[in-house]
Amino acid sequence: MASTTPAQATSAPAAEQSTPAPSAAQATAKQPVAIVCVGMAGSGKTTFMQRINAYLHEKKDAPYVMNLDPAITHSPFQANIDIRDSVNYKKVMEEYKLGPNGGIMTSLNLFATKVDQVMNILEKRAAPDPANPAKKPISKILVDTPGQIEVFVWSASGTILLESLASSFPTVIAYIIDTPRCGSTSTFMSNMLYACSILYKMKLPMILVFNKADAKDPSFAKEWMTDYEAFQAALTEDENNNAFGGVEGEGGGSGYMGGLINSMSLMLEEFYAHLSVVGVSSLYGTGIDEFFEAVQDKAEEFKRDYQPELDRRREEREKNKEKQRERELAKMMNSMNMGEGGPSTSAFADIKADDDDEPAPILSSDEDDDDDDIDEDDREGLQARYEAAMEAQADSVTADASFAKYIHTQQR
Ligand SMILES: Nc1nc2c(ncn2[C@@H]2O[C@H](COP(=O)(O)OP(=O)(O)OP(=O)(O)O)[C@@H](O)[C@H]2O)c(=O)[nH]1
């Protein structure tokens, strides 16, 4: 299937047409790939991020790193854009009397109102710098997300951030799985169903990263995904070992669980066919070459299969732009429990980018976790910021609007 690009549909403003625009193929060829890492808490997501970051640095291909987890207290790698520089998670929890998950979601919502700034920074770094031709444009964007997957995957802000990314760059999801924790057919199936739900929610190409390969060889998982009979044999073994409950010594339980897993595995066959699967050890660095090969494949797949669908959705949204904008805004405000006018908060500041000529170091030497920095730097109310952002750039908050803007940017 040939990829269509928005460049074919809309013309750039006259003032910007003086230099010939690169062809769509040239433009996409130079685009960096965004790799969004998601995974359950403890799956090794942070260790994996650290490993691929180090790998790329070693290859002299320093990535641009974004941290979207506001709750981490220490990161083993330094991010170029860090949500913690703009949103004070602890203050958000205090001000809105939220628990940890509500705090993360609200922090992400606040951050999402600045998605335009983030995208401007990324696009700037993705293009050659005429003032400094020696400066290499980035070829990879690594995005770390909160361990509470559902907070990112199922929130309006998660959608806004992902769609904004995907509207400018080929974007792939790396779903990190704790291999030793899916040794039984039931835990394996639970993990696959979770991955499946993420794929359908995010609508982006996905790589399953079976991590901790040093602790358990993931070849069993690959076999279960490609050989139905091998999975059946493992399922029968689990049933006989009483893995699903039932009377001890007799095995099998009611047979309900076994039957359910069996039907699920049949249903998931189609889902497996669309995935790339790699086994890695983030601890020892094995499998990382294969991971980046899979990233390349999925980036091609993005351009071939997903981009047209994104373009179609963008066109649809353009038609309902205003309605959608109001809906997204109301959804975000509701989820923040802010009411229409929005709250005042000192917990929120502008996006900061650590964007020196020097790439971000692999290991962070910054031990300063002083939560009060943002408070001192910026006490402006969210209300004012929010309204200013809305007025200055009416497109800045909604997924469809930012989507359209960046698609437009891409066209130029
Ligand atoms: N054996 C082994 N352990 C690993 C590997 N990757 C991560 N771990 C360990 O798994 C534990 C969790 O790793 P993290 O990287 O903190 O996991 P996370 O998914 O970021 O966890 P949250 O920050 O809670 O979301 C740590 O003890 C790591 O040392 C691996 O490849 N092999």
Task: Dump strand ranges (E) for 106-197.
Answer: 140-144, 171-178
Within 13 Å and on the Cβ side, how many CA atoms surround 219? 2
Distance 280 CA to ligand 1 centre (A): 12
CA 274-59-62 angle, to 5 degrees, is 85
- Region 191-198: mean pLDDT is 90
> Is ipTM over 0.95?
yes
Nearest alpha carbon, ligand 1 atom 8: 44
Distance CA 50, CA 45 (A): 9
Atom of ligand 1 nearest to the CA of 147: 25
Lowest mean pLDDT across 64-78, 128-142, 223-237, 389-403: 389-403
Distance 155 CA to ligand 1 centre (A): 25
Distance CA 68, CA 327 (A): 24
Atom of ligand 1 nearest to the CA of 47: 15
Highest-confidence segment of 6-10, 334-338, 376-380: 334-338
CB contact at 8 A, 63 and 144 = no
230: how many CB neighbours lie within 10 A of its CB?
A: 14
Any residues with Cβ below 6 Å from ligand 1, and which? Answer: 39, 41-47, 147, 211-212, 214-215, 281-283
Give yes or no for residue 353 having a pLDDT over 90: no
Got the DSSP string for 82-117? EHHHHB-HHHHHHHHT--HHHHHHHHHHHHHTTHHH
Got the DSSP string for 273-334? HT-EEEE-BTTTTBTHHHHHHHHHHHHHHIIIIIHHHHHHHHHHHHHTHHHHHHHHHHHHHH
pLDDT band for position 408 (50/70/90)?
very low
Nearest alpha carbon, ligand 1 atom 7: 44
Atom of ligand 1 nearest to the CA of 50: 15
Residue 60 CB partners (closer than 8 Å, separation 6+): none
What average pLDDT does the chain have? Answer: 76
The residue whose CB lies within 8 Å of the most ligand 1 atoms, and thus the one to mutate among 37, 43, 47, is: 47
Got the DSSP string for 15-83? GGGSSPPPPHHHHHHHPPEEEEEEE-TTSSHHHHHHHHHHHHHHTT-PPEEEE--TT-S--SS--SEEH
Query: Tell me: the pLDDT tens digits for 14-37?
Result: 333 344 444 444 444 578 999 999
Distance 79 CA to ligand 1 centre (A): 18
Distance 191 CA to ligand 1 centre (A): 17
